[in-house]
C-alpha cells in the first residue's frame, strides 16, 4: 500500500514516524509532539512542512512526522502530516 500526502518529493526525508501532539500555539503551527520512543520533538512553521498547509495540528492529534537527520535542527520535525491528511492508494 502506498501513502499519498501533499508533501512533495525532495522536501522531506524518506523515514516517517508516528507521534502525538502534546502542545501547540500559533494556531497549531508551533509546538511539540511525543514520538513512539517518548522523545519530545519540536515543530515550527518556519522549518516544518505541514500537510495540509492551511491548518495546524491540535493537542492529542496523531501524526506522522519526519525529523531532520542532520544540521542544526537535528531531531526537530521537518515534515508533519495528520493521519486525516493521507489517502491510501493500491
Burial 55-80 (b: 16+ CB within 10 A, else e): ebbeeebebbbbbbeeeeeeebbbbb
Query: Is 0.85 surpassed by the pTM of this model?
Result: no
pLDDT of the residue at 2: 43
33-79 pLDDT tens trace? 999 999 999 999 999 999 888 889 999 999 999 998 888 888 899 99
pLDDT category of residue 86 using cuts at 50, 70 and 90? low
Contact 65, 33 (CB under 8 A): yes
Instruction: Tell whether the torsion through CA atoms of 78, 83, 87 and 88 is positive or negative.
Output: positive
Domain 2-89 has CATH 2.40.50.140: yes
Amino acid at each position: 500500500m502506498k501513502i499519498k500526502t501533499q508533501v512533495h518529493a525532495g522536501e522531506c526525508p524518506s523515514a516517517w514516524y508516528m507521534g502525538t501532539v502534546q502542545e501547540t500555539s500559533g494556531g497549531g503551527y508551533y509546538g511539540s509532539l511525543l514520538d513512539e520512543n517518548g522523545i519530545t520533538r519540536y515543530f515550527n512553521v518556519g522549518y516544518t512542512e505541514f500537510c495540509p498547509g492551511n491548518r495546524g495540528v491540535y493537542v492529542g492529534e496523531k501524526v506522522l512526522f519526519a525529523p531532520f537527520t542532520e544540521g542544526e535542527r537535528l531531531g526537530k520535525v521537518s515534515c508533519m502530516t495528520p493521519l486525516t491528511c493521507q489517502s491510501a492508494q493500491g
